[in-house]
Amino acid sequence: MIKRRFYIETYGCQMNIYDSGVISEILTGQGHEPADCAAEADLILINTCSVRDRAERKVLTRLSEISATKKGRPDLLLGVVGCMAQRLGKKLTETWMKIDLVVGPDSYDTLGGIITGLTVERDPVVETTQDSECMYAHRPKTFDSVSAFVTIMRGCDNFCSYCIVPYVRGRERSRPLGDIIKEIKHLVELGVKEATLLGQNVNSYRDGKTGFAGLLEAVDAVEGLERIRFTTSHPKDLAPGVIERIRDLPGVCEHLHLPLQSGSDRILASMNRGYSYGDYRRIVNLARSAIPGIAITTDIMVGFPGETRSDHEATLRAMEEIAFESAFMFKYSAREGTHAAGLTDDVEEAEKVARLGQVIELENSIIDTKKQALLGKEVEILVEGESRRESGFLIGRTRKNWLAKLPQKGVSKGEVVVAEVTGVTRWMISCDGSVRKAGA
Ligand code: SAH
Ligand code: SF4
Ligand code: F3S
C-alpha cells in the first residue's frame, strides 16, 4: 500500500473544521501521515463550503492554483470534500482542473479505501452517496487546543428558502448522547477545557427522551470540562428549558448565537424562518431577564429577494433595539435548487453592497459602545495560548466570547483566570492589570 502524506485545507463553518479532524483521523488510522503544509503533501484535500457563491469561488481559485502546480509534481493527488463536493460531484472532475477525488460529507469513511487505491493514472473517484444516518465520532490521539468543536447533529430539515445546507448536508440527525459524552471525556483527557457543541439547529437535538437541555446537563457533568458553548440556536425552537440551563449550569457560557436574518416579518416569512420579529424579541427578552448581561450574537442577511428599503430599515431598527454583541453579516447569494433561487433576485448589487455597509457600520458602533462599558470590569478568561502577534502575551476568550489578551506572567494555557479590563479595541480586550486564578 502506498502511504501518503496528506494535508487538509478547510473552508466554511465549524462543522467542516470538525469534519477535517474526522478525516485526518480516518487517514492516519489507515497508515497515511499528516504533512505540515500543502507543499510537503502528496495528497491535498480541500474541505469546502457552498453556502454563498463567494465561498465556492474562493475554493475554485485555490483548486486551479493547486491544479496548475500538478504539472511540475505529477505524483500529487488533489481531492475535494465537503459541501461543494456534494453539490457539484462529478462536475468538478469535468473541468480543465485535475481533481482526483470528490467525496461528500456522508462518505468520509470511504476515504481510506479510495485513497489507498488511488493513483494519478486512475480516473477520478466520485463518492457522493447521501446517507441520512451517517454520523462520525472524533477520537484523536492528541489535541493541541484547549477548545474543541463537538458535532452533536448533522444535516438540517429546516429548509430556509435561501439555504443550500439541507441539500448538501442531508436530513437532520442527532448523535447518541452516550457517544457525545464519551468523546468529550476523551477530549478532556487530552487537555480540552471548552467544548462547543455544533449543529445547524441544536435546539432540535434529540436522543430518545433527551432533548438539548438534557444534553447540556450531561455535558456539564463531565469532570474537568470548564466551559460549554453551542451553536446554532434556531429562534423557532429555543425552549425555555435551554435558557434555564444557561442560567443554572456553571459550565454553560452566557452566550446565545441566535441568527435573526432580517427584522422584517414579510422577509422572515419569505425566508421560511418560522418566527416573526416579535417572537424573536420575546426570546431575547426572556434570555436577558433570566441571565442579565447574556451575550446575544446573530447572523444578518441583506438583499434577500423582494427586500425593500423599508424592510432593510426594519433590520437596522431591530439591530439597534437588540444591540447584538456581535453579528455575522452577509449579502444574499442565490443558491441553485433552493426555493429562493426561483424568486427574482431584484435587489441590485450596488444596493446590496450599500445595505451590507450600513448593517456593518451600525454593528461596529454597537460593539464599540459595549466594549467601552467593559473598561474597569472583571472578566473570566479561558487562556487559549500565546498570542501570535505580540510576544509575551496570551490570548483567550471571556465567557461572553470576547477575544482577550493578557500578559504571560504567571499564567498558562488552559487556565481560567479573572482579570480586570484595562483597554479595549473593537476586536480585543486587554487585561494588563490584576489577574487571579478563577475561584482563588
Ligand atoms: N443553521 C444556521 C446557519 C447556517 S448558515 C441557522 O439557521 O442560523 C450561516 C449563515 O449563512 C446563515 O445564518 C445565513 O445568515 C447565511 N446564509 C445562508 N445561506 C445564505 C445565502 N444563500 N446567501 C447569503 N447568506 C446565507
Ligand atoms: Fe440553513 Fe436554515 Fe438549516 Fe440554518 S436552519 S442550515 S439557515 S436551512
Ligand atoms: Fe458549513 Fe458551508 Fe457546508 S456553512 S455546512 S461548510 S455549506
pLDDT at 2 over 90: no
Does residue 47 sit in the same domain as residue 108?
Answer: yes
How much of the chain, in percent, has pLDDT values that exceed 90?
Answer: 92
Which ligand sits nearest to residue 12's alpha carbon? 3
Give the lowest-confidence range in 228-232, 353-357, 431-435: 431-435
Is 424 near ligand 2, meaning CB less than 6 Å away?
Answer: no
Q: Which amino acid is at 100?
A: D
Is residue 140 one of the residues assigned to a domain? Answer: no
pLDDT at residue 393 greater than cutoff 70 = yes
Are 43 and 182 in the same domain? no
Same domain? 119 vs 181: no
In a domain, 110, yes or no: yes
**What rounded mean pLDDT belongs to the chain?**
96
Name the domain boundary from 327, 355, 372.
372
* 3-class state of residue 433 by DSSP: coil
Residue 58 lies inside a defined structural domain of this protein: yes
Report, as an integer, the average pLDDT of 405-415. 92
Q: What is the pLDDT of residue 146?
A: 98
Give the distance (Å) from ligand 1 centre to CA of residue 50.
Answer: 11
Does residue 104 share a domain with residue 236?
no
Say how far residue 3 (Cα) sits from the centre of its chain. Answer: 31
Q: Are 405 and 415 in contact (CB under 8 A)?
A: no
pLDDT at 434: 83
Ligand 1 interacting residues, C-beta cut-off 6 A:
51-52, 162-163, 165, 200-201, 232, 234, 259, 261, 299, 301, 330, 332-333, 335
Supply the angle between the helices 212-220 and 240-248 in degrees, to the nearest 10.
10
Q: Is residue 392 part of a domain?
A: yes
From 83, 157, 163, 230, give the residue whose CB has the most ligand 1 atoms within 8 Å, as the site to mutate: 163
pLDDT in tens, 162-210: 999 999 999 999 999 999 999 999 999 999 999 999 999 999 999 999 9
Chain segment 328-346, per-residue pLDDT in tens: 999 999 999 999 999 999 9
pLDDT score for 118: 82
pLDDT number for residue 119: 78
Same domain, 195 and 223: yes
- Average pLDDT, integer, range 309-315: 98
pLDDT value at residue 440? 67
Please report whether residue 135 resides in a domain: no
Verify that 408 and 264 share a domain, yes or no: no
* pTM for the predicted model, two decimal places: 0.97
- Does 167 lie in the same domain as 283? yes
CATH number at residue 311: 3.80.30.20
Q: Are residues 46 and 108 in the same domain?
A: yes
Same domain, 433 and 335: no
Best residue among 47, 50, 157 to mutate for probing ligand 3, ranked by most atoms within 8 Å of CB: 50
366 & 386 share domain: no
Query: What CATH number does the domain containing 417 carry?
Result: 2.40.50
* Lowest-confidence segment of 78-82, 264-268, 435-439 by average pLDDT: 435-439
Residue nearest to ligand 2 atom 5, measured at CA = 158
Q: Which residues share a beta bridge with 17?
A: none
Percent above pLDDT 70 for the chain? 100
Please tell me the residue having the least CA distance from ligand 3 atom 5: 165
Asked if the structure places residue 139 within a domain, the reply is: no
- Tell me the average pLDDT across 2-26: 96
**CB burial class (10 A; 0-12, 13-18, 19+) of residue 361?**
exposed
Any bridge partners for residue 9, and if so which?
46
- The confidence score (pLDDT) of residue 377 equals 96
Q: Are residues 361 and 418 in the same domain?
A: no
Q: Are residues 282 and 162 in the same domain?
A: yes
- Which atom of ligand 2 is nearest the CA belonging to 157? 3
How many independent structural domains does the chain possess? 3
Cα 82 to ligand 3 centroid, rounded to whole Å: 8
Q: How is 210-247 classified by DSSP, letter by letter?
A: EEHHHHHHHHHTSTT--EEEEE---GGG--HHHHHHHH
Whether 136 is covered by a domain: the verdict is no
Structural domain boundaries, residue 384 = 378-437
The band of 117, judged by pLDDT with boundaries at 50, 70 and 90, is: confident
